[in-house]
Structure formats: C-alpha cells, structure tokens
Amino acid sequence: MGAVLELDDVHKEYAGVPALDGLDLAVEEGELVAVLGPNGAGKTTTFELLLGLARPTQGRVRVLGGRPGAQRGRVGAMLQGAGLPEQVTVRELVGLVGRAYPRAHRTDDVLARTALTKHADKVVTALSGGERQRLLLAMALVGAPDLLLLDEPTAAMDVASRRAFWERARESVADGATVVFATHDLAEAQGVADRVVVLADGRVRADASPDELTHHGRDDLEEVFLTLTQERTSAGPDGEDR
C-alpha cells in the first residue's frame, strides 16, 4: 500500500505567525486517521494545505501522488465552517457537486447513505446543524473519493447522528477510501480511528494507534492528550483554530 498523503517538513506562516512548524505526516491507503490538537495546533491549516487551498511556506505536500489540488476529482472534503448557498435544496446541491467528479455515486444513493432522503427537498436554510453536516458529508462522498478529509465533521451533531456519521465513514473505508479527520472529541478519536495523530504548535507530538497511546487502555486518553499538549494549550485569544 502506498502513501495517500505526505507532508514533509512543512512550514506555514500567516503574516509571519507560524501555523505549522515542520510538520511530518504520512497516511497510507485504507487508514482512518484522527488528527487531534488544541485550538491553534494547525489542524485546519493542514487540511487547507492538503486540499490546495493554501500553499506551504516551506516543505513538501503530496496528495495521491501529486500536488495538492491536482487530484480534486479523487478527494472529498468537509471543511470547518463550510459555507453553502441558502435557497438550494439538498438534492440539487449534492447532484450539482457530483456532476463535477469523474466518477460519482447516484445522488439518491448518497442521500440514502447519509440519511438525507427525507430531507432531499429541503433548502439549506431549513436544515438543522446535524442535517447540514450530513449534507456536507454527502457532498464529500458523492464523488466516490479515494481520500476523505473531514475537518471537525461531527461538531454540530447529536450522539445518534455522530454514530450514524461514522458508520457512513466506515462504509467509505470499506469501499477502499482513506479517511483523515480532525476532531476535539478524544472519545470519538479513540473509538473511531485506526490511528491518532496529536498536533500541537504546528508539529506532530504523537502518532500511534489509540491502544498504543493509552497503553492498551491503562491510561486515560484525555490525560495523555493534556500531557502531550500541556505546554502548548495555547488557544488563541479568539479561540480559533489555525
């Protein structure tokens, strides 16, 4: 199995402020990887680099063997705070985005898979937070992506929706996709991911399976996380992630 994405010694600065400071990460095909980190750790910046929405100040980023953005037809993404047009229905939006992918699932199949069938004719403004997140997931899945990049995908979801969401994500992994997701929810990372990457201050602080991180459950993941990031729990004054 080859690396689906690689970041080698990646640095990224915004107006002289470092967001990433020598990030090294590689993810192989079929993995389900959780990226954890306090606010400002660099999670969102990492996703933006992988999607080609931002360029590294220094270092090398490869996605599916090419430069980021070159393989958008094989990548599905859910961005944090993603914007949507307001008066468009769920079915229209998923269908429209799906048309741009070289291989795509049928819109109705994706809506069924994301439990949106009964909301298909609702406009975006009529959706609840969880439904909106599922719509974003549907838009990410419709192109039958080889790589799914999900930035805090379950942030607005209730427990049942989260569970269903991760079932859908696992189906994608079963279909052969690689999934990388950012989250603040440690239990979610522990329960869902094959592998957990902890970022702090723009660098990888830990990279292991949940079992390894907690010494087979002997340690509490929250304590492990706080220890790994305690010198770095530097949520910016605005609390925003970078």
Partner 1 sequence: MTATPRTSATHGTGRPAAAPVAAAPRAAAPRPTGGRAGLLAATVVVDLRSSFRNAEFAVGAVAVPVLLYAMFGLPNASSQLPGGTRVGLAMLVSLTAYGVVSLALFTFGENVAKDRGRGWFRTLRATPFPTGVYLAGTSLTAAVHALLIVLSTGLLAALAGGVRLDVGEWAAFAALMTAGVLLFSTLGFAIAYLARPRAATVVANLLFLPLAFASGFFMPLSELPDVMGDIAPYLPTFHFGQLAYRLVMPDADVAAFTGAATQPVAVHVAWVLGSAVLLGAVALLAARREAVTRRG
Which positions from 149 through 208 interact with partner 1, judged by CB under 8 A? 167, 170-171, 173-176, 191-196, 198, 204-208
Q: Choose which of 211, 222, 231, 240 interacts with partner 1 (CB under 8 A).
A: 211
Name the residue among 178, 213, 167, 155 with its Cα closest to residue 50. Answer: 178
CB of 177 to partner 1, least distance (A): 10
Q: Choose which of 10, 111, 150, 213 interacts with partner 1 (CB under 8 A).
A: 213
| x/- map, 3-22, partner 1, by CB under 8 A | ---------xxx--------
Pairing, β 178-183 against β 32-36: parallel
| Residue pair 110/138 in contact by the 8 Å Cβ criterion | yes
Q: 95 to 134, contacts with partner 1 by CB under 8 A?
A: 95-105, 109, 113, 123
Using the contact rule CB under 8 A, the part of the chain among 36-44, 154-162, 218-226, 234-242 near partner 1 is 218-226
- 131: three-class secondary structure by DSSP: helix
CB of 114 to partner 1, least distance (A): 13
Quick count: other Cβ atoms within 10 Å of Cβ 195? 19
Q: Rounded distance, CA 216 to CA 208, Å?
A: 12
CB of 92 to partner 1, least distance (A): 5
CB of 55 to partner 1, least distance (A): 5
Q: Considering the rule CB under 8 A, would residue 231 count as an interface residue with partner 1? A: no
Q: 58 to 87, contacts with partner 1 by CB under 8 A?
A: 72-73, 75, 77, 79, 81-87
CB of 76 to partner 1, least distance (A): 8
Q: Is 83 exposed, middle or buried (0-12, 13-18, 19+ CB in 10 A)?
A: exposed
CB of 65 to partner 1, least distance (A): 17
Q: Choose which of 2, 16, 159, 215 interacts with partner 1 (CB under 8 A).
A: 215
Q: Give the strand order in the sheet containing 195-200.
A: 75-78, 147-151, 178-183, 32-36, 195-200, 203-208
Name the residue among 153, 172, 202, 145 with its Cα closest to residue 34. Answer: 153
DSSP class per residue in 140-184: HHTT--SEEEEESTTTT--HHHHHHHHHHHHHHHHTT-EEEEEES
Kindly state the number of chain residues that form the binding site for partner 1, as judged by CB under 8 A: 83
